[in-house]
Structure 1
Amino acid sequence: MEINPEQINELISDRRSIYPAMYTGEVVEQHIIEQMLENANWAPTHALTEPWRFVVFSGTGLQKLGDFQAELYKENSSAKDQFDEKKFQKLKEKPLQCSHVIAIGMKRDPKGKIPEIEEVEATACAVQNMYLTATAYGIGCYWGSGGVTYLEEAKPFFGLEAQDKLLGFLFVGVPKEGKWPAGRRSPVADKVSWVLD
């Protein structure tokens, strides 16, 4: 296998969160979405539990997602007297700005031998694989964890059970021209200690 390390380095450093408002409205080709999911499936996983679970919304499915999360937000916030019409509309309409929205779930190992945090970490690695694949194709995406992500009542809609986790949504779309922002990171030397002797 011959892989140019410099291209890998460039791919990783070029990865960005590209938000739905920055999308053109064009539909991402199906083979790209399928490749993102295939690459997600090769994430590291302790004891091969492969805890990641994805539900992909596109076409009229985007409206179903928007309606579901808006209505669930309304039910929960009205019960607490905290309903916000703007938030309701945002939840309803945000998926429609995207080509695809991928719900990110973590399915708990039924034997419970693997610590939960390791299953979450494995799922996060799978999402990073999707991010990098999207970047390689020039496709924008953004992992959001707002809205209904942490509501227990949301889990069944995404095929998750009580012991599982909904970890957010990967919003995917074709970025508008000039909407790939420059990167910002402080030096890695500020975050690394070396133990040499």
Structure 2
Amino acid sequence: MNEQFNTVADIIKSRRTIKPATMNGRKIAREDIEALIGLADWAPTHGLTEPWRFIVYEQPAEFCRKHAELYQQNTAEENFKPAVHENLTKMGDNASHIVVAYMKRGSNPNIPQFEEIAATACAIENFLLGATAAGIGAYWGTGGQTLKPAMKEYLGLAEEDQVMGLFYLGYADEQPQGKRKTPLEEKVQWIA
């Protein structure tokens, strides 16, 4: 393979989840976040619907407090867990930014919803690979109220839109090593 392939392969293989607690609090420049979103914008999209959308929170602690509030307001008393509330409150303490990624459902009924979700996931992967190449750590979170109606309402999304996750971004002093549990040969079937 050529050098360009090898560069892309190295970035893909080195992308790892960086948990927010391991981030060091150093701020990411706004233009770097804009560049990552610019990469996301080049995802494949059926019918050129470009369904990906991003909301960038430059003050992650404020968003986290609101997320914890949503959890408390929308969780039955018998299911409420103080530890979850505390975790949601503090999760962004070391992060530089939180980016909410969501799928904005288009009006073309010929484009299935799953294709819009897949296109948004591709945009997210572009975003994450760009972050890896830039030395920025990222954590894709879907806990708490992230995938619940309360978050959609808080963000002002339409019912047919879909929150895809919260992305905690920041710098980390150490990078975890990756591994795969299932050998590739068990995931591929070749037919001649």
TM tier, smaller: over 0.9
| SS of alignment partner, residue 91 of structure 2 | helix
**Distance (whole Å) between structure 2 residues aligned to residue 132 and residue 67 of structure 1:** 28
4+ aligned runs moved over 3 Å, structure 1: none
- Following superposition, the deviation at residue 174 of structure 1 comes to 0.3
**Distance (whole Å) between structure 1 residues aligned to residue 153 and residue 67 of structure 2:** 12
- Paired AA for residue 118 in structure 2: E
- Paired AA for residue 26 in structure 1: R
- Paired AA for residue 109 in structure 1: G
- Structure 1 window deviating more from structure 2 (151-160 vs 66-75): it is 151-160
**Distance (whole Å) between structure 2 residues aligned to residue 162 and residue 119 of structure 1:** 15
**Distance (whole Å) between structure 2 residues aligned to residue 113 and residue 160 of structure 1:** 22
**Distance (whole Å) between structure 1 residues aligned to residue 79 and residue 95 of structure 2:** 28
Matched, 1:190 2:186: yes
| SS of alignment partner, residue 189 of structure 2 | coil
Contact conserved, 2:24 with 2:171, CA < 8 A, in 1?
yes
**Distance (whole Å) between structure 2 residues aligned to residue 46 and residue 3 of structure 1:** 30
| SS of alignment partner, residue 12 of structure 2 | helix
Picking from 169, 172, 182, the partner of 1:172 is 169
Contact conserved, 1:16 with 1:181, CA < 8 A, in 2?
yes
- Following superposition, the deviation at residue 32 of structure 1 comes to 1.4
- Paired AA for residue 192 in structure 1: V
| SS of alignment partner, residue 175 of structure 1 | coil
Matched, 1:43 2:29: no
Identity of aligned residues (%): 38
Matched, 1:10 2:10: yes
Kindly tell me the number of residue pairs found equivalent between the two proteins.
Answer: 190
**1:121-176 Cα distance to aligned partner (Å, 9 max, x none):** 11110110011001101110011111111211211322311111111111100012
- Following superposition, the deviation at residue 80 of structure 1 comes to 4.8
The residue number in structure 1 matching 2:117 is 120
- Following superposition, the deviation at residue 108 of structure 1 comes to 0.7
Picking from 132, 136, 139, the partner of 2:129 is 132
The residue number in structure 1 matching 2:73 is 75
- Paired AA for residue 176 in structure 2: P
The residue number in structure 2 matching 1:57 is 57
**1:46-101 Cα distance to aligned partner (Å, 9 max, x none):** 11111111100113xx2331122111110111x35211111111111112221011
**Distance (whole Å) between structure 1 residues aligned to residue 130 and residue 147 of structure 2:** 27
TM-score by length of structure 1 reads 0.91
Contact conserved, 2:55 with 2:100, CA < 8 A, in 1?
yes
The residue number in structure 1 matching 2:29 is 29
User: Aligned-residue CA RMSD in angstroms?
Assistant: 1.5
Contact conserved, 1:103 with 1:158, CA < 8 A, in 2?
no
TM-score by length of structure 2 reads 0.93
| SS of alignment partner, residue 33 of structure 1 | helix
The residue number in structure 1 matching 2:92 is 95
**Distance (whole Å) between structure 2 residues aligned to residue 136 and residue 65 of structure 1:** 26
